[in-house]
Amino acid sequence: MNLKKTAATALAAGLALALTACGGGAGGKVAADSSGLLPVKIGYTAPGAGYSDLYVAADQGIFAKHGLKVELVRLNDSSQLVAGLASNSVQIGVGVAQDTAAAIMKGADLRYVAMSEPHYNLEMWASPENKSVKDLKGKKVAITSPGSQSDFGLTDLLEANGMKRSDVTAVFVKSVTAEVSALESGAVSAILTQPPNGTESREKGAVRLADLSNLDFPLGSYTVQTKYLQNNREVLQKFYAAEAESLQYLRGHETETETAIKKYTGVNSDDLAKYAYDFFLKVWAQTPVVDGRLIKQAFDEAAQNAKSTPPADVSKYIDNTLAGAS
């Protein structure tokens, strides 16, 4: 796989700042509140339907059932994930594993404790004159931010179609809303987004060129500071049990899940919520077990970006022992 230089360059400064903060008081033992629930903040990095496991766990009382008082914290982009963990503004972070792998290789003491999405959750939508991905050669494609899922996804999609990253011009626009606007205005020829938000562009004549859900990618990777894991194992065991239940809930409660999708994505269309739900059934994991093969992929790509050597054994950064207690 080619170097993903854009992600590496943009993340370097943020990682340096985050690593300076690591160890600065985060990870102390948590006490239950007056209702007996253990408080925890979970940071997530995108507004789409991919994190419906969190949405339904919060709204349907699954977290509370397992003894947790959870606050969901929306982070602006993937680059904020490590900083959020380091500052203890969130205690559990979920996002692209390559970002946290890069931080670990720079000295952050982090562990992967769960995984909800082992595939890309992206689609490519394009202006109607484009009939295939290859038609985008020499054109502009809007994606959110360096180091985001769409940043990695653009490279992998192009390679899967026999193209190079340099065959297109990537335009970073920070948000899915800005991506959709850029496509509608003609400023770009295509966008990479997750349903249902980007799917709205079909109502303005856009066509779907690609579905990336068949490509493996360590996306919904739940990460914590090692110190927090050591001091709050009970919290994380309860979280893991709630996450396992939530992943099964998604598959058995379509109506409730689609309601959550509309609530958290801001999309009001029942059709779009249904579209997103059906799409993500291909993406959501059956269990929260961390896939070591995908974490190795994350470290390999992070090392390529940094022009360094990945760790020989990535298993030491994975804790798959949280199951079985709640």
Judge if 202 and 225 occupy the same domain: no
Residue 141 lies in a domain: yes
- Last-in-domain residue among 214, 248, 270: 214
pLDDT of 27: 72
Judge if 15 and 68 occupy the same domain: yes
Q: What is the pLDDT of residues 262-284, one digit of tens each?
A: 999 999 999 999 999 999 999 99
Judge if 96 and 65 occupy the same domain: yes
Judge if 53 and 80 occupy the same domain: yes
Residue 139 lies in a domain: yes
- Last-in-domain residue among 214, 229, 263: 214
Judge if 166 and 206 occupy the same domain: yes
Residue 23 lies in a domain: yes
Specify the range with the lowest mean pLDDT, choosing from 91-95, 136-140, 142-146, 211-215: 142-146
Burial, 305: exposed, middle or buried (Cβ in 10 Å; 0-12, 13-18, 19+)?
buried
Residue 188 lies in a domain: yes
Burial, 226: exposed, middle or buried (Cβ in 10 Å; 0-12, 13-18, 19+)?
middle
Judge if 282 and 139 occupy the same domain: no
Which residues are CB-neighbours of 151 under 8 A, at least 6 positions away?
4, 6, 7, 143, 144, 145, 170, 172
Mean pLDDT over residues 151-174, rounded? 95
Which residues are CB-neighbours of 269 under 8 A, at least 6 positions away?
196, 200, 262
Q: Residue 25, Cβ neighbours under 10 Å: how many? A: 9
Overall domain count for the chain: 2
- Which residue's entry shows tokens 């295939």? 132
Distance from C-alpha of 74 to C-alpha of 11, rounded to nearest angstrom? 19
Judge if 202 and 169 occupy the same domain: yes
Residue 254 lies in a domain: yes
Mean pLDDT over residues 157-166, rounded? 96
pLDDT of 20: 42
Nearest to 120 by CA among 201, 190, 220: 220
2 has a pLDDT exceeding 50: no
Mean pLDDT over residues 110-120, rounded? 97
Residue 7 or 200, more confident = 200
pLDDT of 26: 61
pLDDT of 3: 41
Residue 15 lies in a domain: yes
Handedness of CA 60, 273, 288, 175 (dihedral sign): negative
Residue 12 lies in a domain: yes
User: What predicted TM-score, i.e. pTM, was given to this entire model?
Assistant: 0.87
- Strands 169-172 and 207-211 turn out to be unpaired
pLDDT of 158: 97
Residue 203 or 38, more confident = 38
Judge if 22 and 95 occupy the same domain: yes
Give the containing element (helix H, strand E) for 221: strand 221-225
CATH number at residue 176: 3.40.190.10
Q: What is the pLDDT of residues 189-247, one digit of tens each?
A: 999 999 998 888 998 899 999 999 999 999 999 999 999 999 999 999 999 999 999 99
In the chain, the percentage of residues whose pLDDT exceeds 90 is 79
Residue 95 lies in a domain: yes
46 has a pLDDT exceeding 90: no
pLDDT of 204: 87
Q: What's the pLDDT band for 21 if we cut at 50, 70, 90? A: very low
Judge if 107 and 13 occupy the same domain: yes
When the pLDDT of each residue in the chain is averaged and rounded to a whole number, the result is: 90
Q: What is the pLDDT of residues 49-94, one digit of tens each?
A: 999 999 999 999 999 999 999 999 998 777 789 999 999 999 999 9
Q: What's the pLDDT band for 325 if we cut at 50, 70, 90? A: low
Mean pLDDT over residues 144-149, rounded? 86
Judge if 150 and 297 occupy the same domain: no
Distance from C-alpha of 105 to C-alpha of 11, rounded to nearest angstrom? 13
Secondary structure class of 115 (helix, strand, coil): strand
- Last-in-domain residue among 158, 193, 214: 214
Mean pLDDT over residues 19-35, rounded? 69
Q: What's the pLDDT band for 47 if we cut at 50, 70, 90? A: confident
Judge if 17 and 115 occupy the same domain: yes
Judge if 115 and 130 occupy the same domain: no
Q: What is the residue range of 14's domain?
A: 5-119+217-317
Nearest to 100 by CA among 222, 2, 3: 222
Residue 1 or 90, more confident = 90
Mean pLDDT over residues 86-103, rounded? 94
